[in-house]
Structure formats: C-alpha cells, structure tokens
C-alpha cells in the first residue's frame, strides 16, 4: 500500500455494491459474542468501515447492536466523500457518517471495527499492513477487557455464505465460517468466500485447505443426519471436527450455521 499524505484517507474506494441484510450473519455473531463487552463499556463506538454506495449496512449494524447494548454508537466511514454525503440524511441518534479510511479518523478508539468485503480488491501482501492499521486504532486491552475487536471478512451478494477473521489489538484470534445451510452442498463451498488473507492459501499443504478437506469428510460422514435437516447434519459434522481442530464455540453457535476456529490452526504457512 503506497504512502499517502497525512491529510488524505488511507486506502482506495471499493466497488460500493451492497444489499440490505447482506451482513446479517456477521452482525448476529458480533451481537452474540461481543454484546457483553459492549454493555460493560460506558460509551462504545462501533465502526462500519467501507459501507459502500448505500448506508444500509451501517443502519442495520446499529439496530442489531442496540438490541444487546442500547448505548452503542455506530459510525459509518467511507473513503468516497460522495458516498458520505449521500448517507448523511440517514443519520440519527447513535448513527453518524464520516469521510475516512484505514486510519479511522475518530477521537475515541472504537470497541468494534467491521470491515466486510473491503479487502477483496487488495493484494494478499497488503493485508498485514491493513490489519496493523486497524488493530492499532482499536480500544486497548485493560485489566477488565481484551480490548476492541476488528471483524474482517467476505460474503456473497445476498449473505448466504460468509467467512471472517476476528482480530484484537494483538492481532488475529479466530476464523468463523457461516452459511445458510439449506443452500450448502458441502462445507468447502465456503472456500470462495475466504478473506483475502486465506483465499489464495486453499491449496494442498496449507492448513485452511486441510481444514476444509476434513470438514467435507465430516459432512459426508454425517449424511445420515440429513434426514433430520441440514442443521443437525452441520452440528454433527462440526462435533466430529472438534477431535482434530481447535473449534472455539459450541452448539449454540453451530445451530446458527457457524463454526469458529482458532486463527493459529488456519494461519498461512510461510
């Protein structure tokens, strides 16, 4: 990523395409796993980074976070000033829009940064630098908190398949795979939505490839559970995965069509 003048936002504009309800799986995971931390924070700020040509994802993030932490404030940040101007009429109590990029131009360090479908146009070699920028802007860890959270990932156009990495101030923590199970033929279908840090690593010899291979095998072995529905098959397959992979969540999240794995188990080699 080329150096830019200090007065200019860091990054480049995305295509800007979005659809209402596209990020619901990511939002629900954030609300469920981050809700307690947001409630403990006196005035939490959440950032929707690169929300695109329309402000729907920021509006939806506010609604979903306020169900678990009513005092949360959401700031939509866009590098394209035309998009910011178009979003301004949607501002309301708890929701504002601002021109900016990866530098996150806020006085208060946010408790959450969500960057969905933002890094797709960047090279894999640029991801570490972007992550460092964003993690450096998160609320720091304290005795009572692990600090802010960056959620960065990719989904399809209508939000049926989604994979994201969760990072704290110290760096990446976990990878979550989420899907509308009725549309899934096999777990490895999610490979096309791997975030930029992993999508080119889905090749033999890389951990993420081995994980998806094992997930497909567990899915095939769980075929008898399909008579009870795709959800029961998914739960059984994930349960079998826990024998060999560090799955960090449990059946409550699995029932939502999710599974979360420690980053260290899937991190690229070399």
- Average pLDDT, stretch 85-107? 97
User: Do residues 105 and 9 make contact, with C-beta atoms less than 8 angstroms apart?
Assistant: yes
Give me 96's structure tokens.
């504002």
Give me 9's structure tokens.
């936002």
Write the DSSP symbol of residue 59. H
**30-49 b/e (C-beta count within 10 Å ≥ 16 → b):** bbbbbbebbeebeebbbbbb
Helix (H, G, I), strand (E, B) or coil at 206: coil
**Positive or negative CA dihedral for 237, 239, 245, 246?**
positive
Spans of all domains in the chain: 24-183+246-263
- Measured between alpha carbons, how far is 102 from 82 in angstroms, rounded to an integer? 18
CATH class in words for 24-183+246-263:
alpha beta
At 127, the pLDDT band (50, 70, 90 cuts) reads very high
The CA-based angle 62-158-184, given to 5 degrees, is 120
Percent of residues, the chain, with pLDDT higher than 70: 97
Q: What rounded mean pLDDT belongs to the chain?
A: 95
At 2, the pLDDT band (50, 70, 90 cuts) reads very low
Report the pLDDT value the prediction gives residue 60, as an integer from 0 to 100. 97
The CA-based angle 199-174-3, given to 5 degrees, is 60
Task: Tell me the three-class secondary structure of 15-36, residue by residue.
Answer: CCCCCCCCCHHHHHHHHHHHHH
């Amino acid at each position: 990523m080329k150096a830019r003048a200090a007065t200019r936002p860091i990054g480049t504009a995305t295509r800007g395409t979005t659809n209402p309800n596209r990020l619901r799986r990511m939002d629900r995971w954030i609300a469920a796993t981050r809700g307690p931390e947001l409630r403990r924070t006196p005035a939490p700020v959440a950032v929707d980074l690169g929300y695109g040509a329309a402000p729907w994802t920021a509006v939806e993030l506010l609604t979903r976070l306020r169900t678990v932490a009513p005092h949360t404030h959401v700031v939509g940040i866009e590098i394209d000033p035309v998009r910011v101007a178009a979003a301004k009429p949607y501002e309301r109590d708890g929701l504002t829009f601002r021109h900016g990029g990866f530098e996150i131009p806020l006085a208060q360090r946010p408790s959450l940064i969500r960057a969905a479908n933002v890094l797709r146009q960047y090279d894999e070699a640029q991801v570490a630098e972007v992550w460092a920028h964003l993690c450096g802007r998160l609320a720091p860890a304290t005795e009572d908190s692990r600090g802010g959270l960056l959620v960065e990932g990719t989904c399809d156009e209508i939000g049926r398949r989604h994979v994201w990495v969760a990072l704290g101030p110290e760096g990446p923590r976990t990878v979550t795979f989420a899907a509308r199970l009725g549309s899934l033929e096999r777990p490895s279908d999610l490979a096309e939505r791997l975030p930029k840090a992993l999508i080119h690593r889905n090749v033999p010899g890389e951990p993420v490839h081995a994980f998806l291979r094992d997930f497909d095998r567990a899915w095939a072995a769980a075929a008898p559970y399909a008579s009870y529905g795709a959800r029961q098959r998914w739960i059984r397959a994930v349960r079998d995965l826990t024998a060999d992979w560090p799955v960090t969540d449990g059946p409550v999240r699995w029932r939502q069509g999710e599974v979360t794995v420690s980053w260290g188990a899937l991190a690229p080699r070399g």
